[in-house]
Structure 1
Amino acid sequence: MTGRNDGSDAATVLDARLVPCALAAWAVTLLGLYTGWRIVIVVAVAAVVGCSVTVRLVATGRIPRGGARILLAALAVVAGFGPAAGLRMWAADQHPIASAAEKGSWAGVVLLPTDDPRHIRAAAFDDTPRVRIPARLEHVTVGGRSMDTGGSVVVLAPADSWGDLLPGQSVTARVRAAPHTGPGTTVAVLHAENAPMVVGPPPVWQRWAGTVRDRLAQVGSAVLPADRAGLLPGLVVGDTTALTDEVREDFRVAGLTHLTAVSGANVSIVLGAVLLLVRAVGLGPRSGTILAATALVAFVVVVRPSASVVRAAAMGSIGLLAFVTGRERQALPALCTAVGVLLVLLPDLAVDVGFALSVSATAALIVAAPPVMTRLVDRGWPRPIAEVAAMSLVAFVATAPLVAAVSGTVSVVSVAANVLVAPVLAPLTVLGSLVAVGASVVPWVGEVLARGTGPFLWWLITVADRAASLPSAELEVPDGPVGAVVAAVLVAVAWSVARHRRVRITALVIAVAVAAVWLPVRMLRPGWPGAEWVLVACDVGQGDALVLATGDGRAVVVDTGPEPEPVDRCLRRLRIRRIALLVVSHLHADHAGGIRGVLTGRSVEMVVVGPGAAGDDAAGVLDAATGVGVVVREVGAGATLRAGDLDIRVLGPAGRRTGGSENDNSLVLAVDTVVGRVLLPGDAEEAALDALVRSGTDVRADVLKVPHHGSRTTPARFLTAVRPSVALVSAGRDNLFGHPHPEIVSTLTGIGARVLRTDLHGDVAVLRAASGALAVVSDVRGTIEP
């Protein structure tokens, strides 16, 4: 199986025979990670049978030998990779800490971090800054049993005591185990509340890597403005800790985020610079290979082996081997080999979005970039510009569907932005690497070199800012498979329009016709969720943000989610400019962190908080309100509020609780609306909810916002007492806390509630149907229940 690439003067034949094998390896590994070891073993056995049948058909001449060879190779890969993935999944299922995680048990562990701690912006439990650390277990003590063991885990821990750990640094800690809900071989999520005890120092090379990263950040901060200083480590070593929110958002909208996720481009530039140096000093191939391999290993250690970096390192290793043996390097077989090897060693890469984006972009650059570049040159484009434009275009086409599936957006300005920044990437990467090396040896040398990166960084930030500021710089599409299909169709249509004159004329006629029909309809008909909406649960990730219509053009907002952007986007979709009340159920980051997204550009009449909350605003959340002149009022059980058509009663708490969970200080609201009663209990847990039921308070409601994102801390007797028709769960997709818990969902469906989840359904609206009855509409799946 071959394909012809006309992208060079002498046509080059691409050897694509390994492509089916790589795809088969990826597919069967995905199957194992998502379905478990039993099904993948069955598939592997079926592949063995398929091999036997294929051999027999070839022997009898019923199928040609050429195609049979490729089919046999793919089936053999499935037969081999299936048991490998199944064995990993079986080991994860049988791990001693997995059963403890199902029970939420405490355990003593000895573990080794495998990557740097990453700050997580919102915690589900408290406002303590926390970090996420991937780690490998060394020893476990649980349920009176103590054993040496392996296994991958994720640790969620306080940042102040865990944030400075280095990869490979052995620590012991007492943790609470929880199930890992996503696909993969991770055996548990470990929640740590106390500082770890350091058992041993990190390896020498990890200490050196940590010094390089720290010195790079320090010299950048010393001589560069904050926006450029935060961007420099991101571009050189993938450290985005100091990246400002403004730059981060601009890069996202402009389609430049990949620049801060060190990938194959960085590896190629660094290896290219080393090989140029080797040739300049006249070293032979073997000596040059040793130096390049050393640089490759050092680079991977410093930037940490993320999915894209590991893939690029594998590609680089294969290229070095070809360089030593004198064979012609074939990029596509090298990529396929790299994918297969990495999936054997690290099967979790099969579900890593960054890995998929990296492989997709690389394949596009190998297969499609040369002929596109040739076409542009034939049309009169200067060759350097044609090369950059071709690479940016094919990478965008290859990755846009996957990006849309994950983020629900397609950047319209991505290709242009990448073309504009391309000329500075190579010199900036080389200079940034020299800054890192120089700063780790002589800091003042690093500072001198860091000043030289200033103009390049300024250009990147300026391009991102201008691109992100353009109207309709990104298109919103449904996330998931629907978004991927929409993005693929948009890309295909744009590609056809650009290539064919007749298609351009046809597209113009269709566009005019659609506009003639669609614009009047759009002007006369309200958009999602319709004019009669009463309540919207906004999809803000792992947090809460709910909007209730007052009937007079205003709204009541209950909680704001962890970040300003998602709640602001939700309110803009609902065309909310005036807010009668902003209720903050409690001051945890996942409920109050996005408050500026509500306040900015809108009039807010009052902010309402629970008893004692205003005096316990350690994070300064409410300062944002008072800073713009908004009154903050404390309320407790028995208080009543009115906003337009809404009657709001505060059911709890009567006063500030001490000694228990801070979640139990959440305001519990009962709101009477035109479609019935809505109960909003914040993150209240078992103690508060039990007390509410025992007090005789009427908690029955038509619509329930499920407490604490569907955590198992909600007692079944509370859900039974409420007995809602509709239950709304606000949770982040693939969140680390396992929300909502299956037992909670099962209890709700058992009492007849329709469960709607923002992680699955996006923004969810409760509205009054034409009949006057309650209806539920998802912006992802449409009307769910009339």
Structure 2
Amino acid sequence: LLALLIGPPGLARLTERRGLAPRLGLSLRATALFAGALTLGFVLVCRPDPSVLRAAVCGAIALLALATGRRRSLVPALATAVLLLVLYDPWLARGYGFLLSVLATGALLVLAPGWSEGLRRRGVPPRLAEALGAAAAAQAVCAPVVAVLSARVSLVAVPCNLLAEAAVAPATVLGFAALATAPVAMPLAELLAWGASWPTRWIAGVARAGAALPGAGVDWPGTWPGALLLAAVTVAVVLAGRRLVRRPWWCGLFGALLLLALVRPAPLTRVVTGWPPPGWRYAMCDVGQGDATVLAAGAGAGVVVDAGPDPAAVDRCLRQLGISRVPLLVLTHFHADHVAGLPGVLRGREVAAIETTGFEEPRQEAEFVRREAAGRHIPVTRAVAGEERRTGPLSWRVLWPPADTGPPTAAGPPPGTGPLAGPGVPAGPGVLAGPGPLAGAAPPPPNGPVAAPEFDGPNDASVALLVRTGGLRLLLLGDLEPPDQQALLRSPEAAGMAGVDVLKVAHHGSAYQDPELIRLVAPRVALISCGTGNPYGHPAPSTVAALRAGGALVLRTDRDGALAVGGAGGAGREVRVTRDGASG
């Protein structure tokens, strides 16, 4: 903002000769006063957060030097700003936002100019050298602190910052102008905000694209000793980089290796890591505290059950599995940890249909699903017990929730009608006709249609599936609670659930499980999707113990990462489970 008046900070000695101030005929002191008012407005509009205060005090000190005619130096200005702010509010010293802001600014002032000059001497164009030096310096200094916060080290921060840098200034200036003019001229403010939305969308798009890369980051100890280790590694990389820039061929080689590490092409990844394993039938993605699983349905195709809480995580998992077509996406219920990742499933993939539960709560998430589906013209239907489907080598039966004799919800037509009917075959009530991508029958329950029970919450209405693929039998229970698990035991479907090969444990392995159902199902392998250090204590030790007591191999994504199941299944036959990068 101040650069509009006094010019770029890199030209400190000539700032009075750049910017708008000399064109408006303002003296140095008038420029400093006007810029001070602009700085105060910046703090008021943007709120006095630590990074905002740091920027404002740095700017105020530089303006004081400008007004008094003293030689300006931004490093002493930064040091003075930090000292004054910490004396005013000592708790700022414990704020990560303040620390990162100061470190980034210091890196731009101390390291970036020398690094940029070194790149220019080696033939890098001046503008690119300046941008690259600034991005690399900020990343090098801030990365240890970020590692403490996130327990990860980004490998895409520098290129992403380079791509986003050009949009920062227009987004900031136009956004600030929109906020400042909104109280007096709302139409003008809306126009300015619309203008600011374009660079802002670019920044957000760059961030999402970078985070979605399979190799976007590596896990790192989220402790201060881990930060010191990263700082040492950074120094070593910088020293090695100074030697490498003198050897273009080595630079090109390491650049190509870094690109491969970021993109991780599926064929190369499979050769190096063994993931995904050949012949996998079912995969449980590592999406943190949530659910996202995939059933292999032919070359490049997979039936996806739930989308997890994070679009980037589920998109990364599906790309690693080579999934480009989704004949059906089943959303077991509308909790955010199962549906918020929906945009990641839709990203760059052909999704033929979405099937959901009829219990549309929470309302906000249900609306979100309908909105995303409508934007892609994807039909949304409702799953009911007794429905049977098949696609490719897959076949499955919906076990829960029970059918409803009432009218269908706004989610879509009842099963067997509308857009899921295949071409050339009449679709009557209860029929999902072929030869389209999905085929099967959805007869009423054996004892006739029954009214759906009164559900206490979304978990009770989770879609539960019994799946058969390549000889394997899998039971996917969504987030069903014990009363509904007991209802399943009393239903005609109970006999088909006995002795399955794989159980997707309900509700992330919570303590609320029906022991009789676990004894009946008696899985050979039990898989639990949960996040590292989640606040719910999932999975519960009692649930893990009960599964192991029944002879199940228990694996969980918080410790074992993504999981893939293969093999023939059945009594005496092999069931193979592979961790992402290691065999289980």
Shorter-chain TM-score bucket reads: 0.5 to 0.7
Q: Is the 8 A contact 2:511 2:542 kept in 1?
A: no
2-structure distance, mates of 1:622, 1:499: 55
SS in 1 for 2:182: helix
- Quote the offset at 1:632 in angstroms: 5.7
The residue identity in structure 1 corresponding to 2:402 is A
Using a 3 Å threshold, how does the CA distance of structure 1 residues 356 and 761 change in structure 2: closer, same or farther? farther
Match of 2:215 among 454, 464, 476: 476
- Quote the offset at 1:367 in angstroms: 3.0
Quote the residue 1:703 is aligned against: 502
Q: Is the 8 A contact 1:405 1:478 kept in 2?
A: no
- Equivalent positions of 1:506-655 (< 5 A) are 506=250, 522=268, 525=271, 528-550=275-297, 554-562=301-309, 564-595=311-342, 597-598=344-345, 602-603=349-350, 607-610=354-357, 619=367, 621=369, 634-655=382-403
1-structure distance, mates of 2:104, 2:50: 14
* Deviation by residue 1:551-585 (Cα, 9 ceiling, x = unmatched): 67642221223565543332222112344443232
The residue identity in structure 2 corresponding to 1:480 is D
* Deviation by residue 1:174-220 (Cα, 9 ceiling, x = unmatched): xxxxxxxxxxxxxxxxxxxxxxxxxxxxxxxxxxxxxxxxxxxxxxx
- Quote the offset at 1:659 in angstroms: 4.9
Q: Is the 8 A contact 1:749 1:755 kept in 2?
A: no
Q: Is the 8 A contact 2:356 2:380 kept in 1?
A: yes
SS in 2 for 1:532: coil
- Quote the offset at 1:687 in angstroms: 2.5
Q: Is the 8 A contact 1:651 1:669 kept in 2?
A: yes
The residue identity in structure 2 corresponding to 1:358 is S
Could you say what the CA RMSD is over the residues aligned between the two structures, in angstroms?
A: 5.8
Quote the residue 2:134 is aligned against: 391
2-structure distance, mates of 1:342, 1:721: 65
- Equivalent positions of 1:157-306 (< 5 A) are 280=26, 292=36, 299-306=42-49
- Quote the offset at 1:536 in angstroms: 1.5
Q: Is the 8 A contact 1:731 1:758 kept in 2?
A: yes
Match of 2:529 among 714, 730, 737: 730
Match of 1:670 among 463, 466, 479: 466
Q: Is the 8 A contact 2:508 2:538 kept in 1?
A: no
Q: Is the 8 A contact 1:613 1:634 kept in 2?
A: no
Match of 2:163 among 404, 410, 417: 417
* Deviation by residue 1:630-676 (Cα, 9 ceiling, x = unmatched): 66664433444444444433332323332521321111123345585
Using a 3 Å threshold, how does the CA distance of structure 1 residues 620 and 435 change in structure 2: closer, same or farther? closer
Using a 3 Å threshold, how does the CA distance of structure 1 residues 761 and 673 change in structure 2: closer, same or farther? same
The residue identity in structure 2 corresponding to 1:302 is V
1-structure distance, mates of 2:287, 2:92: 31
- Equivalent positions of 1:14-29 (< 5 A) are none
Quote the residue 1:747 is aligned against: 543
Q: Is the 8 A contact 1:561 1:589 kept in 2?
A: yes
1-structure distance, mates of 2:136, 2:289: 34
For structure 2, the 5+ residue unaligned runs are 3-8, 404-451
Quote the residue 1:369 is aligned against: 112
- Equivalent positions of 1:677-692 (< 5 A) are 677-692=473-488
Q: Is the 8 A contact 1:413 1:474 kept in 2?
A: no
Match of 1:358 among 89, 101, 112: 101
* Deviation by residue 1:285-317 (Cα, 9 ceiling, x = unmatched): 9x969x94x765654443234453355457668
- Quote the offset at 1:721 in angstroms: 5.9
- Quote the offset at 1:476 in angstroms: 1.7
SS in 1 for 2:483: helix
The residue identity in structure 1 corresponding to 2:503 is L
The residue identity in structure 2 corresponding to 1:783 is A
SS in 1 for 2:52: helix
Match of 1:345 among 91, 95, 98: 91
* Deviation by residue 1:37-90 (Cα, 9 ceiling, x = unmatched): xxxxxxxxxxxxxxxxxxxxxxxxxxxxxxxxxxxxxxxxxxxxxxxxxxxxxx
1-structure distance, mates of 2:44, 2:554: 46
2-structure distance, mates of 1:713, 1:344: 46
* Deviation by residue 1:702-744 (Cα, 9 ceiling, x = unmatched): 5333323445554566556656565444345676xx24x2572
SS in 1 for 2:156: strand
Number of residue pairs aligned between Structure 1 and Structure 2 = 498
1-structure distance, mates of 2:188, 2:298: 65
Using a 3 Å threshold, how does the CA distance of structure 1 residues 667 and 520 change in structure 2: closer, same or farther? closer
Q: Is the 8 A contact 2:54 2:82 kept in 1?
A: no
1-structure distance, mates of 2:199, 2:373: 35
Using a 3 Å threshold, how does the CA distance of structure 1 residues 689 and 296 change in structure 2: closer, same or farther? farther
2-structure distance, mates of 1:695, 1:468: 48
2-structure distance, mates of 1:400, 1:333: 21
Q: Is the 8 A contact 1:311 1:342 kept in 2?
A: no
Using a 3 Å threshold, how does the CA distance of structure 1 residues 582 and 420 change in structure 2: closer, same or farther? closer
Using a 3 Å threshold, how does the CA distance of structure 1 residues 380 and 746 change in structure 2: closer, same or farther? same
- Quote the offset at 1:621 in angstroms: 3.4
1-structure distance, mates of 2:46, 2:311: 30
* Deviation by residue 1:101-144 (Cα, 9 ceiling, x = unmatched): xxxxxxxxxxxxxxxxxxxxxxxxxxxxxxxxxxxxxxxxxxxx
SS in 2 for 1:619: helix
- Quote the offset at 1:531 in angstroms: 0.7
1-structure distance, mates of 2:316, 2:330: 18
Once structures 1 and 2 are overlaid, which stretch shifts more, 661-670 or 685-694?
685-694
The normalised TM-score by structure 1 is: 0.49
The percent identity for this pair of structures is: 36
Q: Is the 8 A contact 1:496 1:503 kept in 2?
A: no
- Quote the offset at 1:546 in angstroms: 0.7
- Quote the offset at 1:776 in angstroms: 3.8
Quote the residue 1:8 is aligned against: none
Q: Is the 8 A contact 1:411 1:475 kept in 2?
A: no
1-structure distance, mates of 2:306, 2:566: 20
1-structure distance, mates of 2:319, 2:326: 12
2-structure distance, mates of 1:561, 1:407: 23
- Quote the offset at 1:431 in angstroms: 5.8
Quote the residue 1:308 is aligned against: 51
Q: Is the 8 A contact 2:287 2:313 kept in 1?
A: yes
For structure 1, the 5+ residue unaligned runs are 1-234, 237-264
- Quote the offset at 1:355 in angstroms: 5.3
Quote the residue 1:113 is aligned against: none
SS in 2 for 1:533: coil
The normalised TM-score by structure 2 is: 0.63
Q: Is the 8 A contact 1:335 1:363 kept in 2?
A: no
SS in 2 for 1:660: coil
The residue identity in structure 1 corresponding to 2:303 is V
- Quote the offset at 1:701 in angstroms: 4.5
The residue identity in structure 2 corresponding to 1:692 is L
